[in-house]
Structure 1
C-alpha cells in the first residue's frame, strides 16, 4: 500500500527517512481488520476497509475506500491512506502519513513527515489555493498535531479504563495537510453494540469541530460544521492494545445524516512481526 500511496513522488529529506521505517514490520500485540459502509439518509454511498496493528511502542494504520451504491451511477472515486507512529506512555506520536485519492478524474494527495509531534516536511497536491479570507497555516499551529488516520483512533494510557468516560474527554489536534482543526469529544453514555466479529460495549462521545487554520471562516459549510451539534462517535477497544477504534460515526449534514458504520470488526490479540498490507473494501 505504501508503494501505491507514494508512487507519484520520490520523497526527499525527512520524508524519505520516515518512509524507510515502513520496510520494517511492526511487532504487534493486537490487530484489527474492519469493514465499513458509508450511508446518507439510509442510502449506501461508499465502502471502506481498515487494518490496524499496534504493539507496546508502535502502531500502523492502513485504509482504503471507494464510492459504491447509487452514487456510483453519477460519480467515481477511491482512495488509500496510511499512517505510522510510536506510542509513548501518554499519547500517540505520528511519524508519517500519506493519502492518495481520486474522484471523477481529479487526484488529491498529501504526505506528511512529523517529528516530536510537529510537521517537519510535507507535500500536498494540488497546492492549497490562496484566498483573502483563508486563515493562514503557520508553524505555531503545526505543533503537537496528529494526522487524520491516527486521529480517528483514541489511545488510552495506563491506568485509565478504556471503557470509562475519560476516553471521550479530550480534544484531538488534527492536521490533514490543508487544514488544522480540533475534534473535541465529550462523554455521553456507554451502550452495547453488535456486528460480525464484535459484541460488547461501546463508549459514545459527542463530537464538535473547531477550526484553527487553513479554513475560510466566511464559507457557509465551515460555519455549519462549527455549529453542528449532531455529531457522534461510538468507540470500541482493539483487543491486545490500548487503542479504541471507531465502530460508528454519525454526522448531520445538509442533505441528511451521514453514518459510517462497521459491518465487520475482527480484533485479535497477537504477538510477532506481521506487516500491514493494503485492505480491499
Structure 2
C-alpha cells in the first residue's frame, strides 16, 4: 500500500479532511444591509466508505451587531478502534454591514499523544496575535508563512459560514461564486467554490428543504510541507463538493454535507440535526 492508502495513514488523514471541511474558510466578505438574527444548532456524523468514524456538533448565534460560533467533535465507530481524538473550536466577532468580522479564534486538538491549542486575535482580517501551546516544531521543509500571508484572511470557524449578498433568495448559483483566503494558525490556503447543482436535503431532526451544492477546490499557499501526501491529494482533487443550507433569519449559509472521495472510499460529513431559527432584532430601550 502507498503511504496515503495504508490504514495507519488513513487514521491520520481522515481527521485532517473532516477538520478542513467543517472549519475551512468558505465565507466571501461582502458588505450590504444589516440582516436579522438567527441561530443554528447542528450535529454531524463523519463516515468513511459508509462506516461511522466521527461525530461533531456546531452552534452559531448571530445578532444584529455580533456573532459567536463553536464546534466540538471526536472520533467514533471504526476509527475509534484504531485511535481516539477530539477537537473544539470557537470564534467570536462583530457584524458590520451584514459581514461577519472575527476578533477571536481558538482551537484545541487532543489525541493520546499530544494536545495542541491555538489562539488568534484578529482585526479587520489581519492576525494581530497568534499563540500556540506547545510551539510548533520547526521543519525546514515547511513553506514559511510571512506577515503578508496573515493579512486579508479569515479564521477557519468564521470562514465556514458562507455570506450571500443581495436581497433575493440566498440559495442559488450565486452562493457558489466565492473564494476565500484562510489562515488556521499554521497553514495559509485558499478555498474556491464553483456551482454544481441544487438539491433537496433532509436531516433526521430539523431542516428539510433546498440546498445549494458547490464544488470546492483547495489551494495551499504557505505553512505546509509540499511533499505531504494529504496536501498533494487535496490540491489535486477535482471531485470534492459541499452542500449549504440556510441559517434562518440571516443571509448566512452553513455546511450541511461535505463529500471528499479518497482512495479508501467516500469520506463524508453530513448533518443529522440542523435546527435553525430566526430571532427578532433587539428593540432599543426607551425611557
What TM bracket, shorter-length normalisation?
A: 0.7 to 0.9
Following superposition, the deviation at residue 101 of structure 1 comes to 1.7
Q: Which residue is equivalent to 1:131?
A: 139
* In structure 2, distance between residues paired with 1:256 and 1:60: 34
Deviation (angstroms), 1:173: 1.2
Shift of the alpha carbon at 1:122? 0.8
Counterpart in the other structure of 1:64: 72
Aligned to 2:178: 170
Corresponding residue for residue 262 of structure 1: 271
Decide which of 53, 65, 69 is 2:61's aligned counterpart.
53
Query: What's the offset of the Cα at 1:56?
Result: 2.6
Q: Please name the residue that 1:221 is paired with.
A: 230
Q: What residue is the counterpart of 1:211 in the other structure?
A: 220
Contact 2:91 2:157 in 1 (8 A): yes
Comparing 154-163 and 252-261, the one that deviates more: 154-163
Quick one: which of 30, 44, 50 aligns to 1:42? 50
CA distance in structure 2 between the aligned counterparts of 1:44 and 1:206, rounded to whole angstroms: 24
- The reply to whether residue 140 of structure 1 matches residue 143 of structure 2 is no
Q: Which residue of structure 2 lines up, in the alignment, with residue 94 of structure 1? A: 102
**Cα distance in 2, alignment partners of residues 126 and 251 from structure 1:** 31
Report the Cα offset of residue 220 of structure 1. Answer: 2.5
CA offsets 1:222-280 (integer angstroms, 9 cap, x no match)? 1111101121100011001111010000112232221000001100011378xxxxxxx
**Distance in 2 between the 1:131 and 1:250 partners?**
31
SS at match of 1:72: helix
1:15 aligned residue? none
For 1:253 and 1:40, locate their aligned partners in 2 and report how far apart those are by CA, in whole Å. Answer: 9
Structure 2, unaligned runs of 5 or more: 1-35, 283-287
Q: How many residues align?
A: 247
Contact 1:160 1:166 in 2 (8 A): no
**Is the contact made by 2:55 and 2:76 (CA closer than 8 Å) also made in structure 1?**
yes
2:179 partner SS = strand
Report Cα offsets for 1:183-231 as digits up to 9, x if no partner.
Answer: 1111111111111211111000000000111011222321111101121
Deviations, residues 32-79 of structure 1 (Å, cap 9, x unaligned): 101100011101011101110112332110111111112222311112
Shift of 1:90: 6.1
Q: In the aligned structure 1, how far is the partner of 2:164 from the partner of 2:281?
A: 22
